[in-house]
C-alpha cells in the first residue's frame, strides 16, 4: 500500500460543467468520481493519494477520501514541496485526465455528457455485483445504488429504490418499492416500503411505511413499526414500539412496547427552543394525543384519546385532559331551519 502514490490533478479541466466543479468531483450515482477512482485503486493495493486542486475545492476533495486511504490535498501553486514530503520513498504516478472505473478498466471522459453516458455502465456493474452476492435487485433499470452501499445476502431491492451514501442494509430485508435511504444502518429482516430514511439506525425486524419519513438521528429498536404517514425526528424508539399511522414524534426518548394511537404528536418546538418528551416502557397512548414537552410519561400509563398532556404522568395511571362531552338536543335541526335547509 505504501510503495506507490497516485497524484491526481483537478486543475486542467477545460470542459463546461453545470456547477463549476472539476470533472472528477462530479457525481455518478450520488458519489463523486474521485471517490470511485480512489476506491478502485485501493482494491488494486494502492492506498496513498495526493490531490492537486484549487483551495475552493479542498473540502469537497477531502470528503471523497475513502476509509483507510492515506491522502492529502495541495494547492497548484505550491504543491511540489508538500508532495515531495508526502510521497517520500514512493513511486509517483500522475493522473491529469478525468477517469471513471468501469469494470476492470479506467475510462477517460472530457465532458459531463460523456460522464452521464458512462453512468449507465457503472450502474449495471453495481447491480451485477450485488446480484453476485445473493442480493435480489428486481429491476436494475429502475434502481439506483451508490457504490458505497453495503447490502446483505437474501435482501430484495424493489423498483424505484434509491440507496445513497454509507448505507448498510442487513440480510433478508425488503427495500422498496419507491424507498430512499441515505446514510442509514438497517438490521436484518427489515421491511422499508415507499418511505424515506435519513442518517438513522434501524434494528432487526423493523417495518417502515408506506409513506413514512425517518429524519436524521433516529434509533429505531428491534421489531418496531413506523407505519403509514408517520414522521420521526431525533428520536429513540425502544424495541417493539409501534406508531402505526398518522403520527409525529420528534425529540423524544421512547421506551419498549409503547403503542401510539393515530394523530399523536409531540409538540417539541415552542417557536424558540426544542424540548424532549420521555415516554417509558409499556405506555398506551390514545388517538389524537398532544404531548407538550418537557414532559415524562411513566411506565405502564394510559393516555385517553383526545388528551393534551402538559404535565408528567405517573406510572400505571390514566391521564385524561379533555372537555366533558355535552349534547344539545335539537341544535342541528334549529340551525338547518335558520338557513332554510
Annotated catalytic residues are 245
Q: Report the SS3 class of residue 27.
A: strand
Burial label, 326 (beta-carbon count in 10 A; 0-12, 13-18, 19+): exposed
Please check whether residue 198 is in contact with residue 167, taking contact to mean a CB–CB distance below 8 angstroms.
no
Phi, psi of 184 (to 5 degrees): -110, 155
CA-derived radius of gyration, the chain: 27
For 64, the grid coordinates are 471523497
Cα gap 192→41, rounded to integer Å: 34
Residue in 227, 222, 170, 167 with CA at minimum distance from that of residue 195: 227
Cβ partners under 8 Å of residue 152, min gap 6: 135, 169, 170, 171, 172, 173, 188
Please check whether residue 312 is in contact with residue 298, taking contact to mean a CB–CB distance below 8 angstroms.
yes
Q: Is 39 left (phi over 0), alpha (psi -120 to 50) or beta?
A: alpha
Residue in 210, 211, 232 with CA at minimum distance from that of residue 221: 232
Please check whether residue 175 is in contact with residue 156, taking contact to mean a CB–CB distance below 8 angstroms.
yes
Cα gap 324→161, rounded to integer Å: 48
Cα gap 199→216, rounded to integer Å: 5
Amino acid at each position: 500500500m505504501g510503495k506507490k502514490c497516485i497524484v491526481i490533478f483537478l486543475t486542467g479541466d477545460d470542459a463546461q460543467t453545470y456547477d463549476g466543479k472539476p470533472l472528477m468531483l462530479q457525481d455518478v450515482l450520488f458519489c463523486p468520481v474521485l471517490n470511485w477512482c480512489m476506491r478502485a485503486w485501493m482494491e488494486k493495493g494502492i492506498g496513498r493519494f495526493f490531490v492537486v486542486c484549487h483551495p475552493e475545492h479542498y473540502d469537497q476533495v477531502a470528503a471523497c477520501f475513502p476509509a483507510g486511504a492515506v491522502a492529502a490535498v495541495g494547492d497548484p501553486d505550491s504543491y511540489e514541496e508538500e508532495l515531495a514530503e508526502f510521497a517520500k520513498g514512493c513511486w509517483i504516478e500522475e493522473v491529469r485526465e478525468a477517469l471513471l472505473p468501469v469494470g476492470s478498466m479506467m475510462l477517460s471522459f472530457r465532458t459531463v455528457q460523456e460522464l452521464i453516458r458512462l453512468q449507465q455502465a457503472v450502474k449495471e456493474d453495481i447491480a451485477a455485483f450485488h446480484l453476485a452476492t445473493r442480493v435480489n435487485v428486481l429491476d436494475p433499470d429502475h434502481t439506483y445504488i451508490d457504490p458505497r452501499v453495503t447490502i446483505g445476502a437474501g435482501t430484495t431491492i424493489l423498483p424505484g429504490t434509491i440507496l445513497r451514501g454509507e448505507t448498510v442494509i442487513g440480510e433478508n430485508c425488503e427495500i422498496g418499492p419507491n424507498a430512499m435511504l441515505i446514510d442509514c444502518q438497517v438490521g436484518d429482516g427489515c421491511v422499508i416500503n415507499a418511505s424515506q430514511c435519513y442518517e438513522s439506525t434501524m434494528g432487526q425486524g423493523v417495518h417502515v411505511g408506506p409513506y413514512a419519513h425517518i429524519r436524521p438521528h433516529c434509533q429505531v429498536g428491534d421489531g418496531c413499526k413506523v407505519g403509514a404517514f408517520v414522521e420521526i425526528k431525533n428520536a429513540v424508539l425502544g424495541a417493539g414500539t409501534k406508531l402505526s399511522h398518522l403520527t409525529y414524534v420528534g425529540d423524544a426518548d421512547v421506551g419498549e412496547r409503547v403503542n401510539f394511537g393515530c394523530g399523536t404528536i409531540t409538540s417539541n418546538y415552542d417557536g424558540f427552543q426544542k424540548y424532549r418528551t420521555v415516554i417509558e416502557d409499556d405506555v398506551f397512548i390514545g388517538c389524537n394525543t398532544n404531548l407538550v414537552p418537557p414532559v415524562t410519561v411513566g411506565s405502564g400509563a394510559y393516555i385517553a384519546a383526545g388528551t393534551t398532556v402538559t404535565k408528567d404522568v405517573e406510572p400505571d395511571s390514566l391521564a385524561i385532559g379533555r372537555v366533558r362531552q355535552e349534547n344539545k338536543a335539537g341544535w342541528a335541526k334549529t340551525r338547518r331551519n335558520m338557513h332554510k335547509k
